[in-house]
Structure 1
Amino acid sequence: MSETGKSAFDPNPPRRNFYGRRHGKTLRHSQKGYLQEDLGELRPRGITFDENPERRPISLSAIFGDDRDVWLEIGFGGGEHMVHMAASYPKIGIIGCEPYINGVAMLLGKIRQAGVSNLSVHPGDARDLMDVLPDASISRSFLLYPDPWPKARHHRRRFVTPEHLLPLARVMRPGGEFRVATDIPDYVRQTLEEVPLAGFDLVSETDRPWDDWISTRYEQKALREGRMPHYVTFRRQS
């Protein structure tokens, strides 16, 4: 893989560790129903080794039924932003990744309530999805209030490291937009240092959200606790 992530598709991704929670408090009966009844239909096929032992690139047109633009949300939390964007841009296909199963269940409930149909849900690590996304297939990506991993020895676990950013750069289209929102100043620092090295140009860094933004529970918590949100926009280099 090149330093800017513009390599060929890798059929043999490395084994990797996962840090973070996969399960939380006991799911409500309705949430268990969402997982049993809805997740299978929304989950993109060909991500796991059992489904795709040759690790061939998956077909996004097969997921959404046409050649529409596709966006990627990395860690969608409770799904507020993802459903809002799906409703606001019905002609866009959006794939969301989230390994925390409680968040997946919350998203599925919101999808039912909103009645949106242009979403696909990967209930796992975004790196596994990026392993099998085609080159230059994503036109916009979102990293919103990611786990800050505040201890210095854990900064290598943050998403804004080469392990994550180079695969993201590979799957982003030239000119594609990468949005980052966080309330942690040191996360902003690392983002501004690392993302350009992966092949992105800084467009803006501000305390004002994007015009199509919807406030999430994580942002509201940050504001209640007196932390200032930052909104950073990058563009994938040609």
Structure 2
Amino acid sequence: MSEDSPKFLMRSFGRVKSRKIKPQQASLFDTLLPSIEANPARVATLLASGRPVWLEIGFGGGEHLAAQAANHPNVDIIGCEPFLNGVGSALRHIDDGHLGNVSILAEDARPLLDSLPDASLERIFILFADPWPKARHNKRRFIQPETVATFARVLKPGGSVRFATDWADYADWALQRFLANADFDWTAQSQADWNTPPADHVTTRYETKGLGDCRPVFFDFYRK
């Protein structure tokens, strides 16, 4: 299917696997993942429960996902990640922590987002997503006007999106697109508001590698 096709979903992520998945993690794909997979039936059940539902898009190795789930046992968290080695790592964190409030989708997050009812999520996290730094690849970035509009649709009033990156151009790109959407507020008052990790942020292994071209930037955008 060509990129010009109306049904073409441009890939916003890189590899789906890099190395052989460790045996312990591989076994969790068979034993744990089927019971916590974020399929339509499970997602519908979560949304009908009345509990807050959060979404993390591109959870990497799952450190942040698992820590937030452990810190907020009254919240159901859905994590989306197409990189299978990352999914394996997250499954290990979930299993080790005996976390019962996490659901995993080992795929692109956009079809799930499109299927969610209006005003169904409390929070969305997008932390250190693939920056696609070359200008000709910018169209593959996850943050686009259409995805920002979708965030506005699926968030409850007062809900939030946290976007973090260590690429200066992607920070500017994301800020411009969120500010262009009238449904979001950005309440930062000074540089410290975006250069200082939020109090509830959980540092990930990727973040500590410092692979970007600037210090980590944290933006919290709130649904009006």
Taking structure 1 as reference, are residues 61 and 127 closer, same or farther at Cα in structure 2, changes over 3 Å only? Answer: closer
In the alignment, is residue 105 of structure 1 matched against residue 84 of structure 2?
no
Q: Number of residues paired by the alignment?
A: 213
Q: Which residue, 207, 215, 221 being the options, matches 2:203?
A: 215
Name the TM-score, length of structure 2 as normaliser: 0.89
Q: Aligned residue for 1:25?
A: 19
Gaps of 5+ in 2: 1-5
Residue pair 1:63, 1:120 contacting (<8 A) in 2 also: no
**Matched residue SS, 2:54:** strand
Pair 1:90-2:73 in alignment: yes
- Partner SS, residue 125 of structure 1: coil
Residue 206 of structure 1 pairs with residue 200 of structure 2: no
Tell me the distance in 2 between the aligned counterparts of 1:81 and 1:212: 10
1:70 counterpart letter in structure 2:
V
The alignment's TM-score, normalised by the length of structure 1, stands at: 0.84
Secondary structure of the residue aligned to 1:232 is strand
- The 1-side partners of 2:44 and 2:91 are apart by 22
CA distance in 2, matches of 1:118, 1:65: 14
- Pair 1:143-2:130 in alignment: no
Opposite residue 117 of structure 2, the aligned amino acid is P
Change (3 A) 1:97 1:60: same
SS in 1 for 2:126: strand
Say which SS state the counterpart of residue 206 (structure 1) adopts: helix
Amino acid at match of 1:26: K
Change (3 A) 1:62 1:142: same
Secondary structure, aligned partner of 2:187? strand
Choose from 166, 170, 175 the match for 2:153: 170
Map 1:107-146; keep pairs closer than 5 Å: 107-146=90-129
- In structure 1, give the amino acid aligned to 2:20: T
Q: Which runs of 5 or more structure 1 residues have no equivalent in the other structure?
A: 1-12, 47-57
Determine the structure 2 residue equivalent to 1:76: 59
Q: What does the per-residue CA deviation read over 1:159-196, in whole Å, with 9 as the maximum and x for residues that have no partner?
A: 11123222222111111111111111111101110012
Residue 61 of structure 1 deviates from its aligned partner by 5.6
Worse overlay, 204-213 or 60-69? 60-69
| Residue 221 of structure 2 is aligned to residue 234 of structure 1 | yes
CA distance in 2 between partners of 1:177 and 1:195 (Å): 12
Deviations 1:34-86 (A, max 9, x none): 1111111111222xxxxxxxxxxx67461377210100101000000010100
User: What residue number does 2:3 align with?
Assistant: none
Please point out which of 16, 38, 41 is paired with 2:9: 16
Q: List per-residue Cα deviations over 1:92-120 (Å, max 9, x = no partner).
A: 11001101111001000000111111111
Q: What is the root-mean-square deviation of aligned Cα atoms in Å?
A: 1.9
1:59–1:30: structure 2 CA closer, same or farther, 3 Å change rule? closer
Amino acid at match of 1:229: P
1: CA distance between counterparts of 2:121 and 2:206? 25
Residues 61 and 89 of structure 2 are in contact (CA less than 8 Å); yes or no, is this contact kept in structure 1?
yes
